Chains A and B, each alone.
Chain A
């Protein structure tokens, strides 16, 4: 089946730093999504990207849909304590289980005061 390689697996940063994480795949996706899971909660959608090359922002978050349609990255600027959590990338393709949605293994973001 399709697999997403998400990196880094975890990040330990200082408050105020910028964060960058990415996701790659050997398969092409029609849509890339980024979810965030707060401690004790379920994942929540942050950003969705629908076109190759698309760059989308949501506040301090910026995500891009790679030109090859096989990768995406997420940047967080000026991190704050509430950014702590697990960030998941997800790719959506035609066909496949779960309506074609595949998740990466997540990036754990830990912010040191």
Chain B
């Protein structure tokens, strides 16, 4: 158990719909990262938040948005869903207050299927 919690584990929806994925980082971790994993693209970095503020953006579509709340949990919002958005979405957090060793703690992921 990494200590990172993601909900829901599975989600099936239709094209054009909007979904929200939720992540609770490990206790005390201020940084939250969102990744998308598809079969042919590996782990694609989407966006990072640190203590409520956006810190870095990766290959995140304009239809996607995220935020981190005062209690440090984060939500990833995916709208106008397309078939190609079907993927595993991972949240990860990093230990705060130490040099960046590159170690991220990943949740179990949310599997999104768009029909």
Interface residue tally on B, bucketed by range: 20 to 34
| Residue with the greatest number of chain B CB neighbours at <10 A, chosen from A6, A31, A45 | A45
Docked Cα-Cα span, A44 to B2, in Å, equals 8
Total cross-chain contacts (CB, 8 A): 68
Docked Cα-Cα span, A13 to B40, in Å, equals 21
Contact residues of B between 1 and 19, Cβ < 8 Å to A: 2, 4
Residues of B within 8 A of A (CB): 2, 4, 31, 33, 35, 40-43, 45, 48, 55-58, 90, 92, 94, 100-104, 106-109
Is the CB–CB distance between A98 and B100 below 8 Å? Answer: no
Q: Is A103's beta carbon under 8 Å from chain B?
A: yes
Selected contact of B92 from candidates A33, A42, A102, A106, CB within 8 Å: A42
List of A residues within 8 angstroms of B48 by Cβ: 97-99
In chain B, what residue has the closest Cβ to A91? Answer: B102
List of B residues within 8 angstroms of A84 by Cβ: none
List of A residues within 8 angstroms of B35 by Cβ: 103
Docked Cα-Cα span, A51 to B57, in Å, equals 28
Residues of A within 8 A of B (CB): 6, 31, 33, 40-45, 48, 50, 88, 90, 92, 96-106
In chain A, what residue has the closest Cβ to B44? Answer: A103
Is the CB–CB distance between A31 and B42 below 8 Å? Answer: no
Is the CB–CB distance between A48 and B92 below 8 Å? Answer: no
Docked Cα-Cα span, A45 to B104, in Å, equals 8
Selected contact of B42 from candidates A33, A98, A104, CB within 8 Å: A104
5 example contacts (A-B, Cβ-Cβ < 8 A) are as follows: A40-B108, A43-B106, A90-B102, A99-B48, A103-B43
List of A residues within 8 angstroms of B94 by Cβ: 99
Selected contact of B107 from candidates A42, A92, A102, A106, CB within 8 Å: A42
Is the CB–CB distance between B43 and A92 below 8 Å? Answer: no
In chain A, what residue has the closest Cβ to B34? Answer: A98
Is the CB–CB distance between B102 and A88 below 8 Å? Answer: no
